[in-house]
Each structure stands twice: as C-alpha cells, then as structure tokens.
Structure 1
C-alpha cells in the first residue's frame, strides 16, 4: 500500500511538472509570436513611410491628397519587383523556412522566424497606402479578439481536432491557387469568396494548431530535450503567427476603409 501511494504521489508530481512546463511553453509560443507580429507591424509601417513623399516632382504618382509615391514606393509597388516581394515570403515559407529552422539551433530558428517577419512586413506595407489607419487598427483588434477565443478553444477543448487537418491543408492549398489565379482575373466576386473561405479556414487552423502545439509538448515533455522544446516553441509561434496574419488580411477585405 505504501509503495502504491509512493507511485501515485510520484505520478501526481510528474503530472504537475508537465502542466507547469506546458504553461511556460505556451507562454513562450505566444510571446515569440507576439514579437514576430510587432516586428512585422513596425517593418510594414516604416517601409510604407519611406514609400511616400510630399514632393510631387519625384514620381508624380499621387496616393492621396498631398502624398505621392517616392522612388522606393514606385519600385516596390509599381514595377515587376512587386511580384518578387509578393511571392518571396510564400516561396521562403514552403521551400526554405522548414529546413533552415530544423537544422539551426533554437536561437537560430528564432532568428530565422524574426527575419521572415521582416519580409512579411515588406509585403504587407502597401495596406498603409490603401486603407485608413483607423480601419487597420480596428481590424487588428477584431482579429486579436477572435484569435484569442479560437486559440483558447483549441487549448481547452477535449474534442480531438486532428481529423480537421487534411481538410484544412487542402483548403489552404486551394485558396492559394485561387488567389494566384485572381491576381490575373482581378474579379471582386472571386476575391469576396476567397476572403470568406480564408477567414473560416484560418479560424479553424488557429484552434487546430493550438491543440497540436499542446499535444506535441505533452508527448515530448518526458524526454527532457530542452533544445527540441525551444525549437518547438518557435515552430508553434510561426504556425499561430501565420494563422493570425492571414485571418487579419482576409478580415481587412471586409472591414478595411480605403482612402
């Protein structure tokens, strides 16, 4: 009986340690994700500022009253370079980020994530030239509230969300193909449908990814590999960062007010 109580006590202590470690792990995931979002926002805002000038003689391309595209703005928004800026983050994400982060140290993986966040900031900078600052902030806050609720659901639900994976991944692939096609078609109706589907897909991915991060930690916590756990936190932060960012962009299509 004493031996049984000792085993039960030991198991209880181990469970408490895992719960405490999980909370610390999730805090690190959300913290890293938040830093990435801050980097993206600052990079996007700074680049948009450099893309605008009050001198009409530089390019003569007026954005709004009293503001014109600078030489940099013309290069990154009006020249073929805009397609490189548009697709480079996607190419890096699919063909470069994974291998680099897996081979790098935990600190190196985190650095790669932050560099990627800067590139995303460059590709998103045009929203400051299209939408009003108020509508951007408003959409960001709505996205933050929705993301928090969905992520909390994914963390606390007892329902297994793993069955959603195939549907969500195939949906995202189809969404990317539709977006590329619509770059050339420029169909407002198609963009409207893409935005609705995009919000729903990334809402589902937010809950799914949160549960996956939690389950992955619990499955590996007993191994005590701190380097792996630190890298896992960065991978988790990247997943949730992309979920938040995409949900924000699709919501901006509905909520954004253009100048």
Structure 2
C-alpha cells in the first residue's frame, strides 16, 4: 500500500494550489478576451473604429507581454495581474475582427477543438515523466522560424505555405502547452509559496494563455480555409 508522508502531502497541496491558481488566471483571461471580442463585434461602428486602431493595439499588446516577461521577478503580483487583464482585454478588441472574417461555425468549432487539444496536452505535460526542459531551445527557434515563414508568406501569399504554417503552428503550440505545463509543475514542486507563487502563477497563466490563443488562431485558419467566411 502506498503511504504519504506529511511532507509529500504538503508538496502535493502546494502543487495543486499553484496550478489551480494559474489555470484560474488563464481562464479569466480567456473569458475576458472572448467577452470583449463578442461585445465589440456587436457594435459595428465601434468594431470598425477598433480595426483602424489595430496597429497601435497590437503594439500595446506586445509591450505588455514584454513588460510582463522581463519583469516576472520584479513586478508585484497586483501589478502583474492588472497587466495580464489589460493584455487579455486588448486581445479581445483585436480578436473582434475574427468574428467578421470567419463564420460563427468556424470560430466555435476552432475554439472547441483548441480547448480539447489544450486540455489533452496540458494533462500530458503534467503527468509525463520524461523531462521536457531540453526542448525549450528547440521551441524557441521553432517559434522564430514560424514567425519568419509568416512574414515571407505575407509577400508570396502561397496557399500551400499558409496550410503548412497553420499545421506546424498547431503542432508547435500544442507541444509548448505540454512543455509550459511541465515547467509550471516543476516550479510548484520547488516549494514556491506566498507572493512569489502568486506572481509566478500570473506569468504561468500568461504563458498558457498565449499557447491557447496562438493554437486557436492556427486552427481557425485551418477551419476557415475549408469554408466560407462570415457574410
């Protein structure tokens, strides 16, 4: 019979609490993004105005991610939480354009597929025994390569390249979901607590949020290639 020492039980409680907090932040961010995107799309005049602000909004999003990532060890949890919520809100504004570019069926199907894939990969990352930390550098270079391919495709506009980029993007961010989940579990196992744990849970939520959002965009592109866009 397996026995649990008080230390082991306490470690499990710390991991459970930390991961629950992280996923709660992530879920709140996704809900805010979806809600703002939907409400913005319901007001076409405002949505058109948002589209004109698209470039400044994207720059603001990049700036927030940059600040959150570089300030992961310096920002207090309150400020980090505000910045994360602000990022999720800005993403909702920019994502409102997707509700005009794609049919509701494509968006719903892509979201459901993303949610299922994310859940499976996150569970895999949590329970898998093999250390995935060595994959970190590969994922970093893969993301850079994918970004370069996307820029090239802006000029060549190749449907075959678009398909390839979308497939690779889905696989890459599915892998990153497992990787980030394992890194967060290992961080929790280190015994992180208090303010440090709260700050880390917000930054962990941002990493998982970005994995989900990027996977969703690539899956939506795949769904959109096979069907009509919104009238």
TM-score, structure 1 normalization: 0.80
Q: Is the 8 A contact 1:22 1:214 kept in 2?
A: yes
2:137 aligns with one of 150, 160, 166: 166
Pairing of 1:17-32 with structure 2 (within 5 A) = 17-32=10-25
Match of 2:190 in 1: 219
Matched, 1:118 2:86: no
Matched, 1:41 2:34: yes
1:230 aligns with one of 171, 174, 198: 198
> Which structure has the larger Rg?
1
Pairing of 1:149-228 with structure 2 (within 5 A) = 149-221=120-192, 225-228=193-196
Q: CA deviation at 1:91?
A: 4.1
Q: Is the 8 A contact 1:203 1:243 kept in 2?
A: yes
Match of 2:57 in 1: 85
Q: CA deviation at 1:100?
A: 4.5
Which residues of structure 2 form unaligned runs of 5+? none
| RMSD between superposed Cα atoms in Å | 2.0
Match of 1:249 in 2: 217
Distance in structure 1 (CA, Å) of the matches to 2:160 and 2:59: 23
Which residues of structure 1 form unaligned runs of 5+? 1-8, 53-69
Q: Is the 8 A contact 1:101 1:108 kept in 2?
A: no
Aligned length: 225
Cα distance per residue 1:172-231 (max 9 Å; x no partner): 11212222333344332222221111101101000000000000111233xxx4100111
Distance in structure 2 (CA, Å) of the matches to 1:118 and 1:21: 30
Q: CA deviation at 1:75?
A: 3.8
More moved, 207-216 vs 15-24:
15-24
Distance in structure 2 (CA, Å) of the matches to 1:44 and 1:100: 28
Q: CA deviation at 1:132?
A: 1.6
